[in-house]
Amino acid sequence: QRLDLGARFGTAELPEMGTIDMRDEAIESAHWIGPTLVKEVLARVAEGQQAMLFLNRRGYAPVTICRACGHQIGCDHCDARMVEHRFLKRLVCHQCGETKPIPVKCPSCEVEGKLAPVGPGVERLAEEVAEHFPKARLAVLSSDLFGSARALKEKIAEIAQGEADIIIGTQIVAKGHNFPRLTLVGVIDADLGLQGSDLRAAEKTFQLMRQVAGRAGRAEEKGAALLQTYQPEHPVIRAILGGDEEAFWAQEAAARQAQGVPPYGRMAGIILSGPDLQPLFEVGNHLARNDAALRRIGAQVFGPAPAPIARVRGRHRVRLLVKAEKSAPLQGALKAWLKGLKLPTNARLAVDIDPQSFL
Ligand SMILES: [Zn+2]
Ligand SMILES: [Zn+2]
Query: What are the pLDDT digits (tens) for 110-163?
Result: 999 999 999 999 999 999 999 999 999 999 988 777 778 888 888 889 999 999
Contact yes or no for 229/190 (Cβ under 8 A): yes
Residue range(s) occupied by CATH 3.40.50.300 in the chain: 16-58+120-255
**What percent of the chain clears pLDDT 90, i.e. is strictly above it?**
58
Cα separation, 211 vs 215, in Å, equals 7
Check whether domain 16-58+120-255 has CATH 3.40.50.300, yes or no: yes
Per-residue pLDDT at 262: 83
Q: Are the beta carbons of 199 and 253 closer than 8 angstroms?
A: no
Measure 115 CA to ligand 1 centroid, in angstroms.
8
Q: Rounded to an integer, what distance in angstroms lies between the CA atom of residue 215 and that of residue 212?
A: 6
pLDDT in tens, 162-209: 999 999 999 888 776 788 899 999 999 999 888 766 778 888 888 889
- In the CATH hierarchy, which fold is given to the domain comprising 265-353? Alpha-Beta Plaits (3.30.70)
The alpha carbon of 68 and the centre of ligand 1 are apart by a number of angstroms equal to 5
Range list of H helices, the chain:
35-46, 122-132, 149-160, 201-213, 235-242, 245-259, 277-289, 292-296, 330-338
Q: SS3 for 186?
A: strand
DSSP E strands in the chain: the ranges are 16-21, 50-54, 63-66, 83-85, 90-92, 99-101, 115-118, 138-141, 166-169, 182-187, 224-229, 265-274, 300-312, 315-325, 348-353
- How remote is the CA of residue 105 from the centroid of ligand 1, in Å? 8
Q: Write out the residue limits of the CATH 3.30.70.600 domain(s) in the chain.
A: 265-353
Averaged pLDDT of the chain? 89
Question: Which ranges of 30-73 does DSSP label H, i.e. alpha helix?
Answer: 35-46
Which residue numbers in the chain have pLDDT < 50?
A: none
pLDDT score at 172: 82
**Ligand 1 centre distance from Cα of residue 293 (Å):** 51
Distance from Cα 313 to the centre of ligand 2, integer Å = 6
Return the pLDDT at 10: 58
What pLDDT shows up at residue 201?
82
Ligand 1 centroid – CA 178 distance (Å): 46
Question: How is the beta sheet containing 182-187 ordered, strand by strand?
Answer: 16-21, 224-229, 182-187, 50-54, 166-169, 138-141
The per-residue pLDDT for 134 is 95
pLDDT at residue 11, rounded to an integer: 53
Distance 81 CA to ligand 2 centre (A): 8
DSSP 260: T
Angstrom distance (rounded) from CA 88 to CA 144 = 9
